[in-house]
Structure 1
């Protein structure tokens, strides 16, 4: 019986190995990440916390530098990466862009001079590295769901001094399906870069044809972006006090596929409070980033994400205090290839090129602090007594 079992495994392995692949990786690949950020900037004076919190709350280097689609710095950003298997050491590339981009019809893509090259066998669909978070101190309270009242069974409370890893995992549930987007590594030219760091103006549009060229890049690598896949508008997030709840409002956005909100605040010196708009427990750490369409659709059905038509969400006062709030509108991820994948699943597919375009719009705001007080027209809003923003964030991360 054991011999038969081993034979079955061995035969299966041999059969699989002998089966010819039905698809090969594209000769060339383009990644384009488009992001719009609005709201509050990161407080100055955070020292070593800047790198950790830059991707969570905003901030980052000034000017147009590669990676601004992740830093949260207020503005409209595009990161581009180009690669080709015919030239793993590609140093330069050209991207022709539509006249409406106001970027002089072409961008100069340059390879970084530092970093580790990506293995040629590495696939585009593999998961992107998860962000790292420091383990907080004290107690953590987790609330979730839109509504005026705290729901039964909430909050989940975690005492960091006594919590087991299982208890820690229960509170820090965080869905994430982010795959690789634009990235900076040797042999893959990027934009922006030191020689071309022009800003994208407020009135610019990326609608129209984009064409890529370079040594080893196949001819005809070009595609068009429509209005649905252009830079997304900024989120105009507002809040108002409704007694036992805080009401968050924003404008509808035709490009939004779904919405998600999450906040972090301090209840006191030793208690940190998380809240998210999800109907299921989730801190939001993994969701506040680009997500593929299939994952977004699944989480919409599970009511983890808010529908595209949403323009309001309430949170009970116990769940949100003086702290940081983030909201994301997910755009429609566009995946293109030439020639297109054959309808026949048995047909061999050898694409010459592929392109992945990811879109999002995010806003970051301080809750319960002067920057977020929206009084009715003609009335003056009183400035609430609030802790220093630096002390608040240092308290959250136990620094």
Structure 2
């Protein structure tokens, strides 16, 4: 099995809305009939232009600087069916969004989502190589690291116990499985959110399978991240970045490799900044402030005051040929619901709809032996010129298939992904 194949396998109401935290005080008697989920992201670094494609563009003369982009994901789920059997819904946005009068939320036939599973190998070939798993910031990896997965043993079903300890679930809200009728965007309309788009202002969501929603957003796309890497005398690598306003915490991860003797597949390396071996799941997704707060306390996520992290020397040595990293700043969340909770505690409360928007900012970088790419994309946040294209491109229908959620989730984040969660 060649190294590329092995790596691929291993990475397997128009009325005024109120803030939803009141739900914690009293649960509704019924509903919500419809739920709306928005994800707003800022991306920078080489991965923002399409992962490997963006990197190759810069290598082939596309320029060393990259401009920050925005991504936007919209998902509407309802417990009712479309009146005429043909689902239709639109999100009407403020002019600053630069998306025209509205964007259509398309109902897909199928969706696929990440599944946390150990990768499978081709039984006709004997896999070689290992995966080394490290975690935590520091000059050196502590005793007990790395956890080693031997691919030849893995192919025979010998899976080390407790390899993954992620307790942070990914939550994309509405989807085809938990909604009677579902719609999403980006879709096949050719529209893309721009690098200078703004979400501030009044929003309205209307369709034939959900109550009409109206709410006003006061939080915009987050500032772009910019990471610098610096080799240390110990062999460790210092990651440093500027603080991002409204950040609730930071999470860094790295994927790397080292070729084996004779050009054979060697070691694949995975590392995260979590001090308690947390990978994948929601850590490569959007997390609410309520989710991040306890993760900061148990040191799964770095605090919003943190602006640096040492990648241990052992990680750098183990991934000496190639390293690809990502840093995420989790951001604010706004919640809305209608109608308001009744003042009379005995009065019935039939909740019609809820809406929420979560924010994050993500940057990626890459280092490879023999290439001067250690700072590729690091100046993205410092480039305030005209905006670049967005990462929110229209997507075609897809057939559901399993993918390695923990391998794919972390690697996807490292590669500048973040995509549609449960979508294509």
TM-score normalised by L of structure 1: 0.68
Match of 1:179 in 2: 171
Deviations 1:342-389 (A, max 9, x none): 688876431111112122222222134522248xxxxxxxxxxxxxxx
Alpha-carbon distance change, 90 to 249 in structure 1, aligned in 2, over 3 angstroms: farther
Give the Cα–Cα distance (whole angstroms) in 2 for the partners of residues 115 and 279 of structure 1.
38
1:236 aligns with 2:226: yes
Structure 1 CA distance, aligned partners of 2:176 and 2:344? 36
Post-superposition offset of 1:235: 1.6
- Number of aligned positions between the proteins: 316
SS at match of 2:290: helix
> Which residue pairs with 1:40 in the alignment?
46
Partner of 1:278: 274
Determine the structure 2 residue equivalent to 1:370: 372
Greater RCO (Cα-Cα under 8 Å, separation 6 or more)? 2
Match of 1:337 in 2: 337
Q: In structure 1, how many angstroms separate the alpha carbons of the residues matched to 2:229 and 2:39?
A: 29
TM-superposed deviation, 1:303: 0.4
Which residue is 1:246 aligned to? 237
Instruction: Name the counterpart of 1:225.
Output: 217
Whether contact under 8 Å (1:179, 1:292) holds in the other structure is: no
Q: What is the CA distance between 1:162 and its match in structure 2?
A: 4.1
1:188 Cα deviation from its structure 2 partner: 2.9
Counterparts of 1:349-388 in structure 2 under 5 Å?
Answer: 349-368=349-368, 369-373=371-375
Per-residue CA distance 1:108-139 (angstroms, 9 max, x = gap): 314335338xxxxxxxxxxx753566358532
Deviation at 1:272, TM superposition (A): 1.9
Residues 59 and 309 of structure 1: CA distance in aligned 2, closer, same or farther (over 3 Å): farther
Q: Does residue 1:303 correspond to 2:303, yes or no?
A: no
Q: Does 1:81 align with 2:75?
A: yes
Helix, strand or coil for the counterpart of 2:314? Answer: coil
- Name the CA distance, whole Å, in 1 between partners of 2:120 and 2:29: 43
Where in structure 2 are there 5+ consecutive unaligned residues?
1-26, 55-66, 122-127, 261-265, 377-410, 412-424
Using the TM superposition, give the Cα deviation of residue 181 of structure 1 relative to its aligned residue in structure 2, in angstroms.
3.8
Judged with a 3 Å threshold, the aligned counterparts in structure 2 of structure 1 residues 330 and 344 are, in CA distance, closer, same or farther, namely farther
> Structure 1 CA distance, aligned partners of 2:108 and 2:291?
35
Distance 1:343 1:141, change over 3 A: farther
2:357 and 2:86 mapped to 1: Cα distance? 21
Q: Is the 8 A contact 1:266 1:273 kept in 2?
A: yes
Distance 2:46 2:292 in 1: 26
Question: Cα–Cα, structure 1 residues 271 and 191, in superposed 2: closer, same or farther, change >3 Å?
Answer: closer
Other-structure match for 1:313:
309
Deviation readout 1:189-240 (Å, 9 max, x if unpaired): 3333223x32222222101111112224334x1111113xx22222212211
Q: Which of 202, 208, 211 does residue 215 from structure 1 map onto?
A: 208
State the distance in 2 between where 1:292 and 1:345 align.
28
**1:4-25: CA deviations, max 9, x gaps?**
xxxxxxxxxxxxxxxxx95322
Contact 1:80 1:182 in 2 (8 A): no
- Is this contact kept in 2: 1:210–1:223, CA < 8 A? yes
Structure 1 counterpart of 2:20: none
Instruction: Give the Cα separation in 2 of the matches to 1:335 and 1:58.
Output: 35
Structure 1 Cα separation of the partners of residues 199 and 132 of structure 2: 42
- Calculate the aligned-residue CA RMSD, in Å: 3.5
Q: CA deviation at 1:58?
A: 6.9
User: How far does residue 83 in structure 1 lie from its aligned partner after superposition?
Assistant: 3.8
Q: What displacement does 1:85 show?
A: 3.3
Identify the residue that residue 264 of structure 1 maps to in structure 2.
255
Deviations, residues 4-51 of structure 1 (Å, cap 9, x unaligned):
xxxxxxxxxxxxxxxxx95322122222121222222399xxxxxxxx
Change in CA separation of 1:87 and 1:264 when aligned onto 2, cut-off 3 Å? same
Deviation digits for residues 55-96 of structure 1, max 9, x if unmatched?
xx6769xxxxxxxxxxxx973111222344343445222322
Structure 1: distance between partners of 2:308 and 2:248 = 15
Name the residue aligned to 2:22: none
Answer whether contact 2:217 2:334 (CA < 8 A) is retained: no
Q: What is the SS of the residue equivalent to 2:295?
A: helix
Tell whether the 8 Å contact from 2:43 to 2:361 is kept in structure 1 after alignment: yes
